[in-house]
Amino acid sequence: NFHSRLQFTLEIGDKKLDFLDTSISIIDNHFIFDWYRKPTFSGRFLNFFSNHPVSQKKGTIFSLVDRVFLLSDLSFHTKNLNFIINILLNNDYPLSFIFDTINQRLSYLNKNKSGNNHTSNQVTTNNDDVNKKTPTWLTVPFIPLHTEKFKRFHNNDIRVSFHSPNKMRKYIKVQKDVRPHTSRNNVVYKIQCNDCDASYVGQTSRQLKTRIAEHRNHIRYNTSTRSVITEHRLNYDHDFQWNNIKILDEEPFYRKRIISEMLHIKKQNNSLNLQTDTEGLHEAYVPIVNKV
């Protein structure tokens, strides 16, 4: 039994079925695979002249080479290889760069394939591999001719990755309803005293209004430990600008948000924050913060 408004269509595949990124054909009672592209395929990829590191442009070619040689039968390799070369040329990639990167990827795939052909029951343990440290990753904004100098850290168990500071979403805004100021989360905020220049800087992963309500209502709690805001209100009979909370930063990653909080605490002229709130900030940052 099914609803009368449900409709089904039957597609005659002629011994061919397009599934995900592959086109599966039945030839001589064998399954033959080819790389499938939707009719909406535009051929637009990361342009060679775009403001991105070379590693990302190589990654674009790597992904296309993988589709050519890993998703299709041997009989389709030449056709698909010519196809991606033309696609890359249309995206302004130099021919020499295309060939060098394709050869680099093919060498890797061949090496990987030969390695997998070894007997799986032969297990060898290398002490160097066991004791090898997990590398630390450093993410920095990509600035041509400058950022790539960070690659020298590769020799010190540090891996460097790049990100583009100017993204399309920075310039093209989706027309959504404006989110209320106090409904934002993952923020570093500042509460200013209404009667003096004292201020408090904090961070929260929850909605800002939830954390501010806790600060505001803490004075009513019958607890043995008082917050610095409650102490200031009781000792000086001051109140705070509860309706004028400033958001200093918005950061979804906890560790980065904590660092941002410590930096903003150091920038306050009369901070109510405890000394322990900035213990994790290296002293080398203090002179820099004072100049900003």
- 154 pLDDT above the threshold of 90: no
Choosing from 64, 93, 109, the residue where a domain stops is 109
Give residue 276's Cα distance to chain centre: 31
Is residue 40 a part of any domain in this protein?
A: yes
Residue 205 has pLDDT above 80, yes or no: yes
Distance CA 107, CA 155 (A): 24
How does residue 131 score in pLDDT terms, banded at 50, 70 and 90? low
54 found inside a domain: yes
Q: What angle do CA 31, 37, 40 make, to 5 degrees?
A: 150
- Stronger pLDDT, 260 or 280, i.e. the higher one: 260
Residue 152: the pLDDT is 67
Q: Which residues does 218 contact at the CB level (< 8 Å), separation at least 6?
A: 226, 227, 229, 230
- Asked whether residue 37 is domain-assigned, the answer is yes
Task: For residues 49 and 88, give the distance between their C-alpha atoms in angstroms, rounded to a whole number.
Answer: 12
Section 156-177 average pLDDT: 74
The residue segments making up the domain with residue 145 are: 134-166
Residues 147 and 84 reside in one and the same domain: no
Contact criterion met (CB below 8 Å) for 238 and 194? yes
CA 204 centroid distance within chain: 21
Question: What single letter denotes the amino acid at residue 203?
Answer: Q
- Whether 185 and 159 map to the same domain: the answer is no
Residue 132 has pLDDT above 70, yes or no: no
Say which residues have a Cβ less than 8 Å from residue 109's Cβ, sequence separation at least 6: 65, 66, 69, 70
Domain co-membership, 160 together with 233: no
pLDDT bin (cut points 50, 70, 90) of residue 144 is confident
On the question of pLDDT at 19 being above 50, the answer is yes
Mean pLDDT for the stretch of residues 269-275? 88
Angle, helices 77-90/95-116, rounded to nearest 10 degrees: 140
What is the total count of domains within the chain? 3
Choice between 146 and 91, residue whose per-residue pLDDT is larger: 91
The helix, strand and coil proportions of the chain, stated in percent and rounded to the nearest 5, come to 40, 15, 40
- Same domain? For 161 and 185 the reply is no
pTM greater than 0.85 = no
- Neighbour count for residue 256 (Cβ, 10 Å): 14
